Structure 1
Amino acid sequence: MASVEQDAAAPAAVNTGFGTKGYRAYVLSALLLVYIFNFIDRTIINILTEPIKLEFGVEDWQMGLLGGPAFAFLYTFLGIPLARAAERYNRVLIIVVSVALWSLFTALCGFAMSFFILFLFRVGVSIGEAGCTPPAQSIIADYFTPKSRATAVSIYALGVPLGGMLASFFGGQIAGLSGADFGAWISSIGLGGLFSGVDWSNVSGWRIAFVVVGVPGLLVALLVRFTVTEPPRGYTDPAKLQNLERASFGEALKVLMSKPTYWHVVAGATLASFVGYGVAQFTTSFLIRTHELTIQSASLLFGIVIGLMAAIGVFLSGYLADRLSVRHPNALSWLPAVGMGLSVPLYAMGYLADNLWLAMPPLMAAATLHYFYLGPMYAIAGGVVDSRMRATSVAITLFVVNLLGYGLGPPLIGILSTFFKTMFINGAGLGLTLEACKDLATLAENQAAACTSADARGLQWSIIVFICGYGWAALHYLLAGRTLQRDMVANA
């Protein structure tokens, strides 16, 4: 750490960020790893929707509650007090405790014996995850100067699509195994003795998936605790903003209220989150119901669409914004607007296509483009304030984005799916009801086919309705460009 200490003493005029270039890269990689596990544990419920729904006998609207409000409400309300703590106390330690807590509750989800207990464990996951991003964004801002910050936060934001991709891959593959298959695999790698008393034949694959993705997070917490250094607060801020007294929450809110750029970005990101979380909750289910894929195949394709292509979009959003801003100062505004606007017709083409392989290219392109909003969201949220209130600014952003976007998106698309399903069931003219469709084995062949078709079409059209929200979100990012240059601290 000697090189870190030397850099800390560097004069402000030649400030290139805290620590050496190599150590900055390591810290960013460590925080990215944390965020990847954050999103693995947060979004694995999306992949496991179908087997959980089947085991507990619930509808889409109930799974929407599990994917949205169960996580979003405490996550959002705890985010601000934890961010205020990050303005005063050791941010690295806050992250370490948070990672350990959410990982433990993710593993416990695999032991839930009822839908209600699973709901409570999901609330526990949210309590831990609330302490991740605000302190992480504050740390990144002290390690990286404003001219390279959009790229840095976009790399951190890769945790969203990469976490989703890994959750899809591991969650889907493990959930598709029988308990007996998993027990045989455990024995084949020499760990059978540790679980000699377990009757794997009675263990559902989705339960195993929760445990397998939850436990490694405890090791990540230890890695961060012993290898990441807490940077001096405000290290990369302009000299006139350094050594100021800590700002109260009221002062931070007053500053943000004077920044129209910030609120347009928050509005746009909230709409994008509302659509994105809602659609992501049921995309694997859509592939299973509409294209008749197995959970393994559906989760693998979902990982490609949401993971790999979205990761490209997230990285490009910050990388291009940093470089285009030299000649086009408002790139942080119009770049995400263009991306989200173009994603609407592409998503519509993909979700309406009857052939899976005709659907994939527009879905992949749309996933890349719509994620152009994420890097600029973090860059602007952290850029319109100084270091004294940066974690608070990010926390308020996440409060609104997650309370309204994450909290409402999954349950409302679930309600809409159930509404359309009921409408299609009634339209079949076979005397069916939503309750009757829960037990297909008791129905005639044509009735069972009508229920299955209604289930697929109801979800398909609820997704089509939702994706139109990206156009509204794009408009807010465009409006943010009118005051962007005035509101950014680096330009003050």
Structure 2
Amino acid sequence: MATVDTTADTVSDINTGFGSKGYRGFVLGSLLLVYIFNFIDRSIINILTEPIKQSFQVEDWQMGLLGGPAFAILYTMLGIPIARLAERFHRVWIIAISVFVWSLMTALCGVAVSFMVLFLFRVGVSVGEAGCTPPAQSLIADYFAPSSRATAVSIYALGVPLGGMFAAVFAGFIVGNLDGPSLAAMFEAWGWNWALGLADWQNVEGWRVAFILVGIPGILLAFIVKMTIKEPPRGYSDPPELQQLERASMGEAFKVLSKKTTFWHIVAGATVASFVGYGVAQFTTSFLVRTHGLDLQTAAVLFGVIIGLMAALGVFMSGFLADKMAKRYPTALSWMPALGMGLSVPLYAVGFLAPTVWLALPPLMAAAALHYFYLGPMYAIVGGVVDSRMRATSVAITLFIVNLLGYGLGPPLIGFLSTALKGMFLAGNDLGLTLEACKVTTELSAEAAAACANANSEGLRWSIIAFCSLYAWAAIHYLLAGKTLLRDLTIKSS
């Protein structure tokens, strides 16, 4: 059972944070692992878009609903209530229960018998994941001193690109190599008769296997988290005068945040960035398959490993550089993300317009690293404009807005735009093709099939480029946040 240890060996002064340096590193690494699993289970749908779409015979707009609202609505609605619980109760327990729930729901996605059942299981994933980040951010703030929090939260935020990367690698590999028949052969060779009786493996599709194999390890992780992470004294790394304050009500939290102009600009910028990022991520693997003719496994590896690693580099460097530059450039948390997102716009356009995948990769890699400069500073700022009594609530309010509008609207709207542009490209030819006609490719002539494939590819290409241009809008909000950043921070970095 995890308990608060207040012995001399465990507790450090507020200039360094709670616990020994090694234990703080262990806790941060454990929370990063939780966040990686969070994003693996959340983003695996992006890699499996094409096989699920073919399995259930649906369009991009329906996959957008599955990738966006199915997850975002309850995820955002439950975030604030769970954050309020995290302000009062054992945060490690909340995280452990959440990991268990979302991992179980992810595994169940693999047995969905219809598109609607899969939709409902995705809703279940969102219910579990709602209890991850607010209590985790609150724990990090108690374990790490203000002078190192930007680096700590940036390391935690690595879970976003790393989770997406691992989801791409594992899902791509499983779909390409571990379908039902191959698993049945493995079980038979190992003598696992009990496993052979669980399902008709000969008819199990690879995307179902991916959900099951990705979900199961998270259940084990839930128990490990509960048994190894200590609950620190709340507000331990804050100055004494802030530690003595009474718990804040929800109304008080909103009252404080309403006066923080910086907070609202950061939330607005992060919402736009999330809207673009989640929407584009939902269909990037599909873009590589449709436009450059890659198989799913190769497309997933290129998207997950190459582009994902660059995104991870951007997330880490943003917080690390901001901490290093804070004394000389006090508003670095604001202008660095703005610069990164602004520069990413032309790079994304060049990458998605490139004629070959190898010409596309360099600008896409650079753009991914630059646009993710916003993520670490976002967490550092929204947690820094309030004291420890309302830190989890501040993060939850941020995630409520960012995910409801960004995650909830990004994937379905880019899906709708892709479908609409596909229809426009089809209408521009003389073959009289429609969206419905393109679904039955076996009954089309070679010319008609090629026209359908081209419309499918170009519709998605231009919808992605249109979305990426909105990073410039997000950059403006981060620049505006810099005008009030120093005034609004509760604890200054030192």
TM-score bin, normalised by smaller chain: over 0.9
Structure 2 partner of 1:59: 59
Q: Distance in 1 between matches of 2:231 and 2:7?
A: 12
Q: Distance in 2 between matches of 1:203 and 1:10?
A: 53
SS at match of 2:491: helix
- Residues 4 and 232, structure 2, Cα contact 8 Å, conserved in 1: no
1:96-152 Cα offsets, whole Å, 9 max, x none, are 000000000000000000000000000000000000000000000000000000000
Matched, 1:397 2:367: no
C-alpha displacement of 1:2 = 10
1:383-425 Cα offsets, whole Å, 9 max, x none, are 0000000000000000000000000000000000000000000
Structure 2 partner of 1:311: 312
C-alpha displacement of 1:185 = 3.9
Which residues of 2 match residues 120-269 of structure 1 at below 5 A? 120-177=120-177, 178-187=179-188, 190=190, 192-197=192-197, 198-269=199-270
Q: Distance in 2 between matches of 1:337 and 1:388?
A: 29
Structure 1 partner of 2:351: 350
Greater than 6 Å deviation, 4+ residue runs = none
1:261-285 Cα offsets, whole Å, 9 max, x none, are 0110000000000000000000000
C-alpha displacement of 1:11 = 5.3
- Taking a change above 3 Å as real, the CA distance of residues 333 and 4 of structure 1, as seen in their structure-2 partners, is same
- Residues 184 and 196, structure 2, Cα contact 8 Å, conserved in 1: no
1:205-249 Cα offsets, whole Å, 9 max, x none, are 000000000000011101100000000000011111112110000
Q: Distance in 2 between matches of 1:375 and 1:203?
A: 40
C-alpha displacement of 1:199 = 3.1
- Taking a change above 3 Å as real, the CA distance of residues 38 and 334 of structure 1, as seen in their structure-2 partners, is same
The alignment of Structure 1 onto Structure 2 pairs a total of residues equal to 489
Task: Kindly provide the amino acid, as one letter, of the partner of residue 76 in structure 2.
Answer: T
Task: Kindly provide the amino acid, as one letter, of the partner of residue 396 in structure 1.
Answer: I
- Taking a change above 3 Å as real, the CA distance of residues 395 and 226 of structure 1, as seen in their structure-2 partners, is same
- Residues 266 and 481, structure 2, Cα contact 8 Å, conserved in 1: yes
C-alpha displacement of 1:9 = 5.6
SS at match of 1:271: helix
Structure 1 partner of 2:116: 116
* Contiguous gaps of at least 5 residues in structure 2: none
Task: Kindly provide the amino acid, as one letter, of the partner of residue 345 in structure 1.
Answer: P
- Residues 350 and 358, structure 1, Cα contact 8 Å, conserved in 2: yes
Which residues of 2 match residues 81-92 of structure 1 at below 5 A? 81-92=81-92
Task: Kindly provide the amino acid, as one letter, of the partner of residue 36 in structure 2.
Answer: I
Moved more, 384-393 or 175-184: 175-184
Task: Calculate the aligned-residue CA RMSD, in Å.
Answer: 1.4
Q: Distance in 2 between matches of 1:7 and 1:151?
A: 24
Structure 1 partner of 2:71: 71
SS at match of 2:386: coil
Structure 1 partner of 2:433: 432
- Residues 5 and 19, structure 1, Cα contact 8 Å, conserved in 2: no
Among 6, 9, 24, the residue aligned to 2:8 = 6
Structure 1 partner of 2:368: 367
Task: Kindly provide the amino acid, as one letter, of the partner of residue 348 in structure 1.
Answer: A
C-alpha displacement of 1:305 = 3.9
Q: Distance in 2 between matches of 1:379 and 1:7?
A: 28
C-alpha displacement of 1:191 = 6.6
Task: Kindly provide the amino acid, as one letter, of the partner of residue 133 in structure 2.
Answer: T
- Residues 3 and 20, structure 1, Cα contact 8 Å, conserved in 2: no
Q: Distance in 1 between matches of 2:406 and 2:374?
A: 14
1:262-316 Cα offsets, whole Å, 9 max, x none, are 1100000000000000000000000000001111101011112442111101000
Q: Distance in 2 between matches of 1:218 and 1:118?
A: 20
TM-score, normalization by structure 1? 0.97
- Residues 137 and 391, structure 1, Cα contact 8 Å, conserved in 2: yes
- Residues 62 and 411, structure 1, Cα contact 8 Å, conserved in 2: yes
1:346-375 Cα offsets, whole Å, 9 max, x none, are 111110001110000000111111000000
C-alpha displacement of 1:330 = 0.4
Percent identity of paired positions between Structure 1 and Structure 2? 69
Structure 2 partner of 1:446: 447
Structure 1 partner of 2:490: 489
Which residues of 2 match residues 26-65 of structure 1 at below 5 A? 26-65=26-65
Q: Distance in 2 between matches of 1:291 and 1:4?
A: 58
- Taking a change above 3 Å as real, the CA distance of residues 284 and 2 of structure 1, as seen in their structure-2 partners, is closer
SS at match of 1:85: helix
Q: Distance in 2 between matches of 1:184 and 1:351?
A: 40
SS at match of 2:360: helix
1:170-200 Cα offsets, whole Å, 9 max, x none, are 0111122332123334456x37344132432
C-alpha displacement of 1:429 = 1.5
Q: Distance in 1 between matches of 2:144 and 2:364?
A: 34
Q: Distance in 1 between matches of 2:11 and 2:30?
A: 24
Matched, 1:480 2:446: no
Q: Distance in 1 between matches of 2:390 and 2:4?
A: 29
- Residues 174 and 210, structure 2, Cα contact 8 Å, conserved in 1: yes
- Residues 334 and 477, structure 1, Cα contact 8 Å, conserved in 2: yes
Task: Kindly provide the amino acid, as one letter, of the partner of residue 118 in structure 1.
Answer: L
Moved more, 74-83 or 198-207: 198-207
- Taking a change above 3 Å as real, the CA distance of residues 329 and 453 of structure 1, as seen in their structure-2 partners, is same
- Residues 164 and 306, structure 1, Cα contact 8 Å, conserved in 2: no
Q: Distance in 2 between matches of 1:335 and 1:84?
A: 31
Q: Distance in 2 between matches of 1:33 and 1:444?
A: 50
TM-score, normalization by structure 2? 0.97
Q: Distance in 2 between matches of 1:482 and 1:467?
A: 26
- Residues 4 and 18, structure 1, Cα contact 8 Å, conserved in 2: no
Structure 1 partner of 2:98: 98
Task: Kindly provide the amino acid, as one letter, of the partner of residue 243 in structure 1.
Answer: Q
Task: Kindly provide the amino acid, as one letter, of the partner of residue 478 in structure 1.
Answer: L
- Taking a change above 3 Å as real, the CA distance of residues 359 and 11 of structure 1, as seen in their structure-2 partners, is closer
Q: Distance in 2 between matches of 1:387 and 1:11?
A: 16
- Taking a change above 3 Å as real, the CA distance of residues 170 and 69 of structure 1, as seen in their structure-2 partners, is same
Q: Distance in 1 between matches of 2:12 and 2:313?
A: 35
1:433-488 Cα offsets, whole Å, 9 max, x none, are 11111101111111111011100000000001000010000010000000000100
- Taking a change above 3 Å as real, the CA distance of residues 84 and 7 of structure 1, as seen in their structure-2 partners, is farther
